[in-house]
């Protein structure tokens, strides 16, 4: 009986060793399949992910004043949100055209409501690419609530009195059109 028990024990151990060996030998291949599959999927997701409007503006060196204003107005989360938005983004040179001291005044905490009004006047609550703009003139409602005048003649597009210098800068939550003049709501002119 003792010999039978020992034999069975050795057979069980041998069987377990063979099963373990088989399992262990297949683990690297299994791990590589899982790893490469998930790595591929993750890399594809990252490659497909476009930066949002705020991230695009921050990454571009021409919008430092705009980014500072968006932060001061508390609009970073909004403009980083789902959207879609169309932003007519004035460059630093566009802000420099404003009368001396205007930007500094707008950035003061006591003028936050006015700053929000100016910035949201540059935003349309939908994604509008240049190919979507028809020739002629149209009034478009902004997030601020006022109307902007969009005029397209040939390939040239103006927003109120501002020229679109670069169109269709795509972001994950909309599009940016770079403009050369800050837009001011009519009641702030």
CATH number at residue 99: 2.30.180.10
What's the pLDDT band for 187 if we cut at 50, 70, 90?
confident
- Regarding whether 153 and 69 lie in a shared domain, the answer is yes
- Regarding whether 112 and 162 lie in a shared domain, the answer is yes
- Which H or E element spans position 73? helix 64-73
- Please say if the pLDDT value at position 46 is more than 80: no
**How distant is the alpha carbon of residue 73 from its chain centre?**
18
Is residue 138 within 8 Å of residue 96, measured between CB atoms? no
> What is the three-class DSSP state of 148?
strand
- Regarding whether 155 and 118 lie in a shared domain, the answer is yes
- Please say if the pLDDT value at position 105 is more than 50: yes
- Regarding whether 149 and 129 lie in a shared domain, the answer is yes
Whole-number Å distance between alpha carbons of 87 and 165: 13
Question: Of 29, 49, 69, at which residue does a domain stop?
Answer: 49
- Regarding whether 111 and 38 lie in a shared domain, the answer is no
Number of domains making up the chain: 2
With tokens 């109120």, the residue in question is 160
- Please say if the pLDDT value at position 17 is more than 80: no
Q: What is the residue range of 82's domain?
A: 53-188
- Regarding whether 67 and 155 lie in a shared domain, the answer is yes
- Regarding whether 73 and 37 lie in a shared domain, the answer is no
What's the pLDDT band for 49 if we cut at 50, 70, 90?
confident
pTM of the model: 0.74
Whole-number Å distance between alpha carbons of 135 and 152: 5
The per-residue pLDDT for range 118-171, each reduced to its tens digit, is: 999 999 999 999 999 999 999 999 999 999 999 999 989 999 999 999 999 999
- Regarding whether 26 and 62 lie in a shared domain, the answer is no
């Amino acid at each position: 009986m003792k010999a039978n028990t020992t034999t069975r024990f050795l057979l069980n151990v041998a069987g377990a060793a063979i099963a373990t060996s088989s399992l262990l030998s297949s683990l690297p291949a299994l791990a590589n399949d899982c790893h490469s599959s998930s790595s591929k999927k993750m890399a594809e997701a990252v490659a497909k992910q476009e930066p949002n409007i705020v991230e695009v503006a921050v990454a571009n060196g021409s919008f430092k004043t705009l980014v500072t204003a968006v932060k001061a107005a508390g609009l970073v989360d909004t403009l980083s949100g789902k959207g879609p938005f169309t932003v007519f983004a004035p460059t630093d040179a566009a802000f420099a055209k404003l009368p001396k001291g205007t930007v500094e005044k707008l950035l003061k905490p006591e003028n936050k409501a006015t700053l929000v009004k100016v910035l949201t006047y540059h935003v349309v609550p939908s994604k509008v690419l240049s190919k979507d703009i028809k020739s002629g003139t149209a009034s478009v409602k902004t997030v601020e609530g006022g109307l902007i005048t969009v005029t397209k003649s040939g390939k040239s597009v103006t927003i109120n009195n501002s020229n679109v210098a670069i169109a269709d800068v795509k972001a994950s939550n909309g599009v940016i059109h770079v403009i050369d003049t800050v837009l001011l709501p009519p009641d702030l002119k």
